[in-house]
Amino acid sequence: MDIKVRDLRKKDQYKVDDAYLNGYARLCGVYATAVYNSLSRHSDFHTQECFPSIEKIAYQHKIDKKSVIKGIRELEKWNIVKKTKEKDPKTQRQLNNIYLLIDKTQWIPKPKEDSRVDEKDTETTKAEWTTSLSRVDVEDKSRVDEKDCKDNTEEKDNTIKVLAMQSIAERKDKPIFDLIELFKPINPSYEKFFSNTTQRGAIDRLLKKIGFEKLAGAIKFLKISNGNQYAPTITTPLQLEDKFASLVIFANKEKNKKVMQEI
């Protein structure tokens, strides 16, 4: 099943879905809620991907690392967050985990007994709102207007429509996605490269250095070179960037061999 990431958020804010507080916070617990806030704060604007360290999350909420790990497990349990582990391809050293914040439509449904808290239950009726205002002194009224802390529904819907209508051909990052797609016959897990900023960054740097056509040819060549014991094994964009020189040397040798055989 394709993973759909959460809605885009504003750059100067971070967003926590109402659905999380309407039941999931109670199910996941206080530590998971703290972790979810940190992940929401650090997530990438477009991909909803982030990689804060466990130590950093613990420091932000003044809790221990075990509590952070416990919170992450709870979020994974309900499919609110997907965690992947990354290693440095050169040193094989464990890097920070990468977290992907999943859209609420793909969260594990709450048990029936925990579904009683609905979004409509959190909305105050007009009559209740008027009554509550009459009990509060003018000095105590909130200075934060509702429109300043809630997304404008009409504006949000229009934004989604615009994004949906925008063709892929207009996207600035389309060449990167097209090149990643070429890794499909090379790496069965190639789809994770689309949301991995490290892998996309490697493609972007190579693209600027050698151009689309040459880079596409190099990726296609991997289907041949990876089967040769004398060629560098390359299955990811980052490995291609690191071993590109070795790949070129191997390709030149193979070309020379073919020329010699024809003489």
What residue spans define the domains of the chain? 18-122, 170-262
Q: Measuring CA to CA, which residue among 100, 105, 103, 95 is closest to residue 195?
A: 100
Q: How many CA atoms lie within 13 A of 36 on its CB side?
A: 29
The pTM of the full predicted model, rounded to 2 decimals, is: 0.41
Q: CB within 8 A of 149, min separation 6: which ones? A: none
Hey, what long-range contacts does 97-100 have (CB within 8 A, 24 or more apart)?
97/51, 97/54, 97/72, 98/49, 98/50, 98/51, 98/196, 99/39, 99/43, 99/49, 99/50, 99/51, 99/52, 99/72, 100/3, 100/5, 100/47, 100/48, 100/49, 100/195
**Fold for the domain defined by 18-122:** Arc Repressor Mutant, subunit A (1.10.10)
Q: Are 260 and 254 in contact (CB under 8 A)?
A: no
In tens digits, the chain (263 residues) has pLDDT values of 677 776 555 566 788 888 898 889 999 999 999 999 999 888 887 788 898 999 999 999 999 999 999 999 999 999 999 998 877 777 777 777 899 999 988 999 988 764 454 445 444 445 554 555 455 444 444 444 444 444 455 555 555 444 444 444 455 678 899 999 999 999 988 999 988 999 999 999 999 999 999 999 999 999 889 988 889 999 999 999 999 999 999 888 887 666 545 53
Neighbouring CB atoms inside 10 A of 204's CB total 17
Task: State residue 47's pLDDT score.
Answer: 85
Task: State residue 45's pLDDT score.
Answer: 75
Task: State residue 12's pLDDT score.
Answer: 66
